[in-house]
Amino acid sequence: MLRIGSLQLKNRLIMAPLAGITNLPFRLMLKKMGAGLVTTEMISAKGLVLGEKKTLAYLMSDPAEKPLSVQIFGSEPESMAEAARIAVDRGADVVDINMGCPVKKVVKTGAGAALLQTPEKIRDLLSAVRKACPVPLTAKIRSGWRPDSLDTLYIAGLIEDTGADALILHPRFASQGFSGNADWGLIRKVKDTMRIPVIGNGDVFEPSLALKMRAQTGCDGVMIGRGAVGNPWIFKQINALEAGLPPQSPTPAERKAFIMEHFHHLSRLKGERAAARIMRGLLIRYSKGLPHSSEFRGDITGIKDFDSLVAAMDAFFIGLEEMEP
Ligand SMILES: Cc1cc2nc3c(=O)[nH]c(=O)nc-3n(C[C@H](O)[C@H](O)[C@H](O)COP(=O)(O)O)c2cc1C
C-alpha cells in the first residue's frame, strides 16, 4: 500500500487533478469506484488568499471522499503557503503543488510548468509551503520545460531535498503538450534515485496498463487522469487485476445506477436544473463506445429537463440490457 508522509492510503491508485472535471460529485464517485486518493482540480493560491468565493468553492468537500488531496498553483511563496494553510483548515489531507501545467495563462504568471525552469523558485516556494503545511505535501511535475532545459533528476532531487513527501511525475515536457507517449523510462530513472515515493502518471488508459507501469518503472503509486474520465470503473478493474481477478466491465444496469448516483450528487450541489445541463455532457461521456451511443447522443442533444433526460437514458440502457447475452 502507498504511504505519503503520515498518510496511509488503502491502495496505490490516485485520481489525477483534472480542471473542470474532478469536482466534488465526480470525486465521490471515483472514491466509490476504488481510488485510494482523489485530487481537486488546480486551485489558484491567489484566489484562495483573496477569499474569492468561486475559488473557495473548489475546496468544498465531503467526508465520503476522504482522504482528499488539494492541488494549488501559484508562483509566490507567501501566497502559496497561506493557500496551503487555508486548504488544510478546510480539510485537505494532502497538499499538492502544481509544477506541470503548461497552459499559457498559468505559465505566464510564473506558475505551473514555468517553475521547472527556475530551481531557486521551486526551493523557495516548496520550503515556504512545507513550513506552513502540517499534512503530507506532494509536487506534481512534468519531465521539464523542454528537452534541453533542466534535468528531471535534478528537479526531482531538489523537490525531495526541500521536504516533499512524494513526487508525482507525468513524463512529458511542457513543450510537448499531450503529444507523443509518456516516457515511462523516465519514471524508472527518477524512481531509482529517490527516497520518497514516486507516483507515475501518463497514458494509463486500460486497467492492465497500471500494472504494466508499476512493473516497468517500480513506481510506488499510479495516477490516472483521462483513462478514468469515460471509465471511472478503471479503479475497480485495476484493483480486481491486482487481486488476480478478471476486470469486469459494468453491466448496463450498473452503468445506469452509477450515472444516477453521479446526477444525485450533482443535483444536491447545484440544483436539478444545472445538474440536468451537466448531465447531458456526462451522458455523452459515459455512453462513449457503447452500442448505439451515437444515436443516443443525437436523441439527447435538445433535451433540457431532468425527467426527459432520465427517460431517454432509461430507454438507452434498457435497450442495452436487452442486447446482453
Ligand atoms: C482536461 C484536463 C485537465 C487537467 N487539469 C490538470 C490540473 O488541474 N492540474 C494538474 O496538475 N494537471 C492537470 N491535467 C493533467 C493530468 O492531471 C495528467 O497529468 C495528464 O492528463 C496525464 O495523465 P493521463 O494520461 O492519465 O491523463 C489535466 C489534464 C487534462 C486532460
Atom of ligand 1 nearest to the CA of 202: 25
Residue 325 has pLDDT above 70, yes or no: no
> Residue 148: pLDDT band by 50, 70, 90 thresholds?
confident
- How far is Cα of residue 169 from the mean position of the Cα atoms in its chain? 13
Closest CA to 236 of 13, 70, 53, 4: 13
Residue 222 has pLDDT above 90, yes or no: yes
- Confirm whether 101 is a catalytic residue: yes
Is the distance from the beta carbon of residue 15 to the nearest atom of ligand 1 less than 6 Å? no
Residue 150 has pLDDT above 90, yes or no: no
**Closest C-alpha to ligand 1, atom 29:** 18
3, amino acid identity: R
Residue 307 has pLDDT above 90, yes or no: no
C-alpha–C-alpha distance, residues 155 and 190, integer Å: 10
pLDDT at 276 (0 to 100): 86
Percent with pLDDT over 70 in the chain: 100
Percent with pLDDT over 90 in the chain: 84
The mean predicted confidence, pLDDT, of the chain is 95
Report the sign of the C-alpha dihedral through residues 110, 112, 118, 122, in that order: positive
**Closest C-alpha to ligand 1, atom 19:** 170
Atom of ligand 1 nearest to the CA of 223: 26
Residue 21 has pLDDT above 80, yes or no: yes
Look at the block and give the residue holding cell 525552469.
117
pLDDT at 93 (0 to 100): 98
Is the distance from the beta carbon of residue 79 to the nearest atom of ligand 1 less than 6 Å? no
- Per-residue cell: 307: 425527467
**Could you give phi then psi for residue 283, rounded to 5 degrees?**
-65, -35
- Per-residue cell: 79: 501566497
C-alpha–C-alpha distance, residues 180 and 1, integer Å: 31
Residue 288 has pLDDT above 90, yes or no: no
- Helix ranges (H only) for the chain are 24-32, 45-49, 53-57, 77-89, 104-107, 119-132, 152-161, 184-193, 207-217, 226-229, 234-242, 252-270, 272-287, 293-300, 306-323
Q: What is the mean pLDDT of residues 216-238?
A: 97
Q: What is the mean pLDDT of residues 181-205?
A: 98
Please answer whether residues 160 and 194 qualify as being in contact, where contact means their C-beta atoms are separated by less than 8 angstroms: yes
Is the distance from the beta carbon of residue 207 to the nearest atom of ligand 1 less than 6 Å? no
Q: What is the pLDDT of residues 82-122, one digit of tens each?
A: 999 999 999 999 999 999 999 999 999 999 999 999 999 99
Rounded to the nearest angstrom, the distance between the alpha carbon of 17 and the centre of ligand 1 is: 6
Which residues lie closer than 8 Å to 232 by C-beta, 6 or more apart? Answer: 26, 29, 30, 33, 258
Residue 240 has pLDDT above 90, yes or no: yes
Is the distance from the beta carbon of residue 227 to the nearest atom of ligand 1 less than 6 Å? yes
pLDDT at 84 (0 to 100): 98
